[in-house]
Structures are given as structure tokens and as C-alpha cells.
Amino acid sequence: MKNNYTVEDLQNIPKKFDHFVGIDSDGCVFDSMTVKQRDHFHPLIIKHWNLKRVEKELRACAEFTNLFSKERGTNRFPALLHAFDLLASHPDVKGTDVELPQTAALRAYIESGLALGNPTLITEVERTGDPELKRLLEWSLAVNEDIDRNMREIPPFEWARKAVLMIGKKSDVIVVSQTPEEALVKEWNLHNLHQYVYLIAGQELGTKTVHLEIAAKGKYEPHRVLMIGDAPGDRKAAIANKALFYPINPGQEEACWERFCTEAFDKFLAGTFDAAYQKTLADEFEAALPEHPPWQT
């Protein structure tokens, strides 16, 4: 499997089957989202914003945002702002003399309309010289470096491995992710799963909605296109393309993958993945990702 896939590669996927499946990676096939957040993102938030005194509360806010809420899977910068907003309103932080992060520059960057990522953030730091944007960039770069150097190997969920092998025998299949491509290719190669997918689409090729549109639109009937994912953004990508969605509920990953292998994939191929079945899955998915943290409810 090569690196540096292009939009043209995505457009020119050969159609071998009548069904198409897009699979998310982090938090879906691999339980890497939890490890990345707890072992890399959160410690570096604490370090860069000097939040050691409220480490427990910061971790609770960041974990809820990135792992257990409707914000799961969102871009790192809006997720950081959401965690900071939760921290400022946390009952064990309000009224203390802890210096909380200043968020005006971060909020303005998020609302700027720019594609949120290190390249545009670098440009904004150079343009404005804003010290808070500089701190934000230093944190973001440090996260990437720490994950690349120090992240421990995470195997795929066992039923996810079985599912990928099963899907590849009866459907055209690609990886659809917002993780950088280099990290994706490294992980899928390491665990010998790359041979079962035609292409790995990372953040460099656009959003998940764009990935599905370019790869599948006009080639497959919408009811023969399926997105598998663990975050609301995956579901939104499916809905935007009038495709089906199969959720991998956080905390229930193995059970969801087992159900996919023993039930849902057959329904997809047989054309019986109907509205009632989708609603049952959607209701479970919604219940697994609440909007408000437990300390607010």
C-alpha cells in the first residue's frame, strides 16, 4: 500500500462489487482514540496551559468532550475550546483562583472559516503574532510529535479485524478518516489490514463527507453505500451522501463489531438494512453520546 494518496486515486477506485463501505479508523477499528487523548493530548494541555492544580477536572472535561459526548471525533481545536468552556463552568473550579486559559484567540480562529489545522494556524501565528495562538500551535505540534515518538502500539478490536476481512471479500472498501494519512498507513500496515482495503483516505483528502462523495457518488446506489464509524461526524458524512450508517458505540466496540459480523453486514448485502433497523442503531448511538457531562445533570 502506497503513501500520498491523491483525490484522483479516490475518484478512480475500480468498482469490483455493487456495494461500497467506508470505515473510520481511530476509535472504530483501533481503540487508539482513548490512548491518544489520555496519554498524549491531555497531559500536554495541562503542561502548556499550566493546569496542574485542576488536572482532575481538566481531564474530566477533555475526556467527556473527546470520548464520551456528541463532540467525540471533532477537530482538535473546537474540542479544546469545548473542554476549556466546560472547565470554566466546572463546579470544582468556579470560584477558585486558578488562572484559566484565555480562549478569545482560539475562538476567533475556529470561527474564521479557515480549514482548521496546523498549516493555517502557522499562517495565523505569523500574521498576528498573537501569544495565545502561538501557545496553541506549540501544543498542537507537541501532540503530533509525542504521538509519533511515544504512542504505544494499539491492536485492532478482534471483531473489527474479522469484519474488515469479511467486508473486503464482498464489497469495495476504503478507510475514511480525519487522521493524517501517514499515521493511518503505518497503523494499517503494522497490523496487516492494509491488504483488505483499496485506499486509505486521511485528512489530506478532505472531510469524510468529501471522501464518500468522491469515491462512491454515481458509482453505487445510495442504499448500497455504508459508512462505519464511532462519532457523530461519521453519521453526518453518511447522511450527507444519503448512505447507510452503522455505529460502533463507544464502550461497546467489540459487541457492535460482533453484531456487524453476525447480522448487520448480511442485512446490508441483502438490502434489508431498512429504516426501522437504522433507527434502532441510531437510538443506541445517541444514548451512548450524551450532550451534557454528568456533573451538569
- Digit-by-digit pLDDT tens for the chain (297 residues) are 566 899 999 999 999 999 999 999 999 999 989 999 999 999 999 999 999 999 999 999 999 999 999 999 888 999 999 999 999 999 999 989 999 999 999 999 999 998 888 889 999 999 999 999 999 999 999 999 999 899 988 999 999 999 999 999 999 999 999 887 888 998 999 999 999 999 999 888 888 999 999 999 999 999 999 999 999 999 999 999 999 999 999 999 999 999 999 999 999 999 999 999 999 999 999 999 999 999 998
Domain ranges of the chain: 7-31+154-288, 33-150
Residues 6+ apart with CB under 8 A from 47: none
Entry pTM = 0.87
Q: What pLDDT, on a 0 to 100 scale, did the predictor assign at position 182?
A: 84
Q: 199: exposed, middle or buried (C-beta count within 10 Å: 0-12, 13-18, 19+)? A: buried
Q: What pLDDT, on a 0 to 100 scale, did the predictor assign at position 262?
A: 98
Residue position matching grid coordinates 493524517: 180
Between the two ends of the chain, the Cα-to-Cα distance in Å is 47
Q: What pLDDT, on a 0 to 100 scale, did the predictor assign at position 181?
A: 87
User: Are the beta carbons of 168 and 196 closer than 8 angstroms?
Assistant: yes
Q: What pLDDT, on a 0 to 100 scale, did the predictor assign at position 1?
A: 53
Nearest one of 77, 85, 72 to 26, comparing CA atoms: 72
Nearest one of 64, 36, 61, 39 to 51, comparing CA atoms: 61
CATH architecture under which domain 7-31+154-288 falls: 3-Layer(aba) Sandwich (3.40)
4: left (phi over 0), alpha (psi -120 to 50) or beta: left
